Amino acid sequence: MPAQRSRTERWRESLQQIYQRGGGIEFTLDSHRAAAPGNAAHHADVPDLMWRVRVIGLSESEILVEHAGAAGVSVPLSPGSDIIGVLAVGQNRWMFQSRLLGPADGASPWGGASRGLRLAMPHKVERCPRRDFLRVSTAELHLPKVECWPLLNPMSVSLAEAANRVVIHGLEAGTSDGSGIGQSTLPEVGPRFHGQLMNIGGGGLGLIFSKEDASAADRCRLVWMRIDLRPIIPAPLAVTARLVHKHLDSEQNVIAGAAFDFSFNQSHRDFVVEQILRYVDTVAPLAHAKAA
């Protein structure tokens, strides 16, 4: 039996290893096939926001994970929603379809009312090709694009992030045409480079930079970035982050973990959380409708 096929058929062992090591999986709301023509989330270019969550329990029928979060805030997700999950071990990635079953009963060992979020154990997984690492025969995920700049003067982010809030709120209210999205809204930064948002967790982000942008990412620690969640969020969402760890994958891309940094503008945290919740509120009903 070929090695790849053997690993795929033994995916439960990989999931068990992830649990035993305190690792995590990723998932996104599966809304694309449920979206109706004319709905904003029907557009083929709508990005998939991936949540990275730690696996905290396993049974024959369920995966127990920590609650999805953003910038330290728990994100409510509706029971019954269909999801697409990603299981990664080393350079190998598998995708699967599952469903949110709701919160687990009992107290959390980390505090709070709920122990975690229950996912239905998938019946099977499908290995992702190396070059199309989020595509399988039944689904394809589209990672959000991210513009990045080395932040030269952290004290300059306040005005730029305030301008970002004005533009997005104006577009949401229909009082702006988006003309404020441009060079004038940047803080003091270095040359731009590009990446993709792999996942979001309670306190940070997972990013991937192609080998063309790898050197720029490798030299950078404090980053000002704009995350493109259009058309759900009408303009790219600005946020400051610290790149805390980086490594090269087999394709010479840089995989980076970043921590949100609101120390230069504490008021921007609430706005970032507000927009992420807005994304979830828009996409979640579609995933739930598909499940129904």
Q: Which CATH number, 3.40.50, 1.25.10, 2.40.10, 2.60.40, labels domain 145-287?
A: 2.40.10
Most confident by average pLDDT, 40-54, 83-97, 133-147, 150-164: 150-164
Domain ranges of the chain: 3-138, 145-287
Q: pLDDT value at position 35?
A: 45
pLDDT in tens, 8-54: 678 889 999 999 999 999 999 987 654 444 444 444 567 999 999 99
pLDDT in tens, 102-130: 888 765 555 554 578 999 999 989 888 87
* Global pTM value: 0.86
Tokens of 149: 């700049």
Question: Which of 141, 118, 107 minimizes the C-alpha distance to 57?
Answer: 118
- Chain centroid to Cα 272, Å, comes to 13
Q: Which CATH number, 3.40.50.2000, 2.30.110.10, 3.40.605.10, 1.10.645.10, labels domain 3-138?
A: 2.30.110.10
- For the ranges 80-84, 144-148, 213-217, 274-278, the lowest mean pLDDT is seen at 213-217
Q: pLDDT value at position 135?
A: 77
pLDDT in tens, 151-198: 999 999 999 999 999 999 999 888 777 665 655 689 999 999 999 999
pLDDT in tens, 222-247: 999 999 999 999 999 999 999 998 88
To 10 degrees, the CA torsion angle through 13, 19, 20, 22? 150
